[in-house]
């Protein structure tokens, strides 16, 4: 945890009660050690969705579909959600969860949710739509690789939100005390954070919510 555990527990106590569907889905994911958005992210995302009112959302990293369905349930303005997952098993679970969500929602105005089972790095190069909100929660070492293409897909004034950027606070540790398997991830994540904070076409900030997020707003068309 980036934040103090006692403080995090206090913040959790302030949360609204989750809907039974989402509480059951979270419990199932946590029991299976499937990474989904942390509880403390949810109130932040609700506020962001209400402020930004996105209509078209792109998500990188579906897992079992929790965050895509959270967007669908909390963004009244959203019309389409496109989400990409490379793991066949998780993609299959996500499809079932999406089906169950849409069935229990029983509303004709539910957003369209398209799940693409593919490698995100290659798949985003095939997309032709543009998006008001892009949620980046896929392979951490690929954030910096995907950044230029994602910004091509992001509308002017759109939001790029990248999750888990502080790596439980280990990102600032010396590479010599970092396990070898994590070094490349940490190095590339530092590159990503530097890039979004210093691009001329973005206004960005780093927030210590959950495992850390970067929130970037696309200002306009630039060469960088």
Residue-range domain boundaries for the chain: 5-162
Name the token pair of 189.
């994540």
Q: pLDDT at position 61, please?
A: 97
E-strand ranges in the chain read 56-60, 80-85, 112-117, 131-136, 154-163, 202-207, 213-218
Q: pLDDT at position 169, please?
A: 47
Q: What CATH number matches the domain at 5-162, 1.10.240.10, 3.40.50.150, 1.10.3720.10, 3.30.1490.20?
A: 3.40.50.150
E-strand ranges in 74-185 read 80-85, 112-117, 131-136, 154-163
Q: Looking at the DSSP assignment, which residues form a beta bridge with residue 114?
A: 82
Q: pLDDT at position 170, please?
A: 58
Q: pLDDT at position 39, please?
A: 87
Q: pLDDT at position 175, please?
A: 55
Full-model pTM = 0.89
Q: Are 63 and 85 in contact (CB under 8 A)?
A: yes
CA angle 21, 48, 25 (to 5 degrees): 15
Whole-Å CA distances, 63 to 5, 21, 131, 203: 25, 17, 20, 28
Q: Is 159 exposed, middle or buried (0-12, 13-18, 19+ CB in 10 A)?
A: buried
Q: pLDDT at position 165, please?
A: 92
**pLDDT tens, position by position, for the chain (224 residues)?**
455 667 666 766 666 767 899 999 999 999 999 999 988 889 899 999 999 999 999 999 999 999 999 999 998 899 999 999 999 999 999 999 999 999 888 766 789 999 999 999 999 999 999 999 999 999 999 999 999 999 999 999 999 999 999 875 455 554 545 556 666 788 889 999 999 999 999 999 999 888 899 999 999 765 44
Q: pLDDT at position 181, please?
A: 66
Q: Is 154 left (phi over 0), alpha (psi -120 to 50) or beta?
A: beta
């Amino acid at each position: 945890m980036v934040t103090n555990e006692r403080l995090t527990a206090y913040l959790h106590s302030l949360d609204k009660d989750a809907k039974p569907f989402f509480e059951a889905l979270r419990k199932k994911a946590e029991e299976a050690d499937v990474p989904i958005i942390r509880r403390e992210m949810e109130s932040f995302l609700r506020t962001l969705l209400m402020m930004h009112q996105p209509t078209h959302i792109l998500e990188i990293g579906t897992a079992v579909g929790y965050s895509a369905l959270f967007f669908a349930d909390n963004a009244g303005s959203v019309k389409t959600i496109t989400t990409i997952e490379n793991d066949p098993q998780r993609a299959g679970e996500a499809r079932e969860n999406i089906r169950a969500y849409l069935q229990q929602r029983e509303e004709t105005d539910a957003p369209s949710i398209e799940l693409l089972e593919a490698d995100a790095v290659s798949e985003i190069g095939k997309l032709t739509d543009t998006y008001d909100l892009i949620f980046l929660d896929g392979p951490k070492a690929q954030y910096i690789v995907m950044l230029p293409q994602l910004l091509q897909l992001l509308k002017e004034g759109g939001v790029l939100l990248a999750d888990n950027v502080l790596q439980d606070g280990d990102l600032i540790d010396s590479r010599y005390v970092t396990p070898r398997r994590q070094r490349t991830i940490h190095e590339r994540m530092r590159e990503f954070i530097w890039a979004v904070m210093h691009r001329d076409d973005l206004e960005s900030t780093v927030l210590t919510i959950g495992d850390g997020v970067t929130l970037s707003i696309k200002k306009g068309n630039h060469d960088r």
